[in-house]
Amino acid sequence: MKDLKIRTRITLISCIMVLSATIAVTGLLIVITYRSMQKEAYAEAYKNAYEKSMDFKNAVGIYRNYDDKDMYVQYYMKTSTDGHIICMSYVNGTVKEIYNVTVFSKEYILNGKYIPGGSSEYRYVKYKGGKYIIFESGIIDNYCLYIIENVSYVDGKIYRIALYGVVITGVVFLITYIILALLLRRQFRPLLKLKKTTALMAEGKYDVRVEVNKNDEVGQLGKSFNKMAEAVEKRDSSLKMFMGNLTHELKTPMTAIMGYSQTMLSVNLSEEEKEEALMYINDECSRLERLSKKLMRLLEIENNGNNLELKCIDVKWLFEETGKITHTVIDSKGILFDYSDDGGTIYAEPDLMLDVMVNLVDNAVKASDKGGRVELSYNNNVISVRDYGCGISEEEQEKILEPFYMVDKSRSRKSGGAGLGLALVAEILRQQDISLKIDSVVGEGTKISLQFVDKTMNT
């Protein structure tokens, strides 16, 4: 039973239930029918017997004064009855059989076994496979009549009806089975498809989907499956992209380091060339280090997403700290750093928020020309970082939050970027339900706004 398909199991169980119901109903019907038929037959038999004994009474009345009464009675029996009567005379304590052409013997009638339930007037008798009712008329002028009524035909009839019942039950069972099997097959088809699709997905084909054209449980399951498949596919492709980008980002410095070190080992370089090669090796090594640090940070943040300790942060403090951390970058480019706030507070994780701000300011500085301007401001639960640098085109605005995406590759590499800053920012903001908005015009600058949830509205 365990190994059977659900479809087969349901079919079998249903069929067994239908079968037992049909058998019960048919059986009950047969029993009721049998009873009523029996009753009818008995009533008929009783009526017959009564009429026969009445006829006999009338007839005996005529013979009453005849000497040879027995002979007349015998004659009467022979001519006027159908042979299912036994006549006995009771004279002075002796019993004499007057007339008997039935299968029963005198002794059987007087001592025979009777079916319990008979009364003194009639008895049920089973005799040589037949069923009979024997009526006793009582003494009529020294004579007693035993009228035999054969009621076997009732059984025969009921057997036939029972046979019909069995055939009908069988047919009903068969039809139920066929209809159920077909119906369930139809109903289970989407489930089977889902099973196949799941197997495909388990093998790594994440682009498979199931067709959903019903809204029942299976349809809903299909919809959920498709949603899941989409999520898995998206996750898979973003992971693949991440890995692809990561390898690319790793290969570039590795190629340079390998190449320069091999060159230094095998070629007689001038002092100047040697210095240059070493400088490049050093640069690429620190680039690798920055990349690994950022990666570690990203992983750390992704893993700690569930146990963030959110606090009230003074925006003024946040801006001042950001300024302290980024001042070397800001000063090196001669950027004018300006911030204004209305003395408010935000609700977030302080260290991560500082990470976000530093990354945003860093990007703003990178985008700015020498002597440019970067502004931080806060009002109405929105922190914004504004620069007047090169700006970001609309198509690039969609991509800049992806890991390893760089607006200007050579420029940001020179300024020490790994392409992970904004991905880090995006991940932190996502965890804290802070939304990020980019307003940028190429050549005019960029404004990045962080919209915080108003906690006074929340409570």
User: What residue ranges bind another protein (CB under 8 A)?
Assistant: 247-248, 251-256, 258-260, 262-263, 265-269, 273, 276-277, 280, 283-284, 408-410, 413
Smallest separation, CB 427 to another protein (Å) = 25
Instruction: Report the greatest alpha carbon distance in the chain.
Output: 169
Residue 45: name the closest of 116, 118, 113 by CA: 118
Pick 95 or 267: Cβ nearer another protein: 267
Pick 18 or 256: Cβ nearer another protein: 256
Question: What DSSP state is assigned to residue 369?
Answer: P
Q: List all residues 6 or more positions away from 392 whose beta carbon is below 8 Å from its beta carbon.
A: 367, 400, 407, 438, 440, 442, 446
Smallest separation, CB 415 to another protein (Å) = 13
Tell me the H-state helices in 64-151. Answer: 69-80, 106-111
Pick 29 or 279: Cβ nearer another protein: 279
436 vs 25: CA distance, rounded Å? 72
Pick 179 or 258: Cβ nearer another protein: 258
Residue 384: name the closest of 349, 419, 341, 352 by CA: 341
Pick 267 or 312: Cβ nearer another protein: 267
Pick 380 or 410: Cβ nearer another protein: 410
Torsion of CA 311, 315, 321, 324, to 10 degrees: 170
Residue 396: name the closest of 447, 451, 441, 427 by CA: 441
285 vs 418: CA distance, rounded Å? 13
Task: State the first-to-last Cα distance of the chain, in angstroms, to the nearest integer.
Answer: 57
- At 46, the amino acid letter reads Y
Smallest separation, CB 280 to another protein (Å) = 4
Question: What DSSP state is assigned to residue 128?
Answer: T
Smallest separation, CB 278 to another protein (Å) = 12
Smallest separation, CB 283 to another protein (Å) = 7
22 vs 177: CA distance, rounded Å? 14
Smallest separation, CB 433 to another protein (Å) = 35
102 vs 331: CA distance, rounded Å? 136
Smallest separation, CB 295 to another protein (Å) = 17
Pick 268 or 459: Cβ nearer another protein: 268
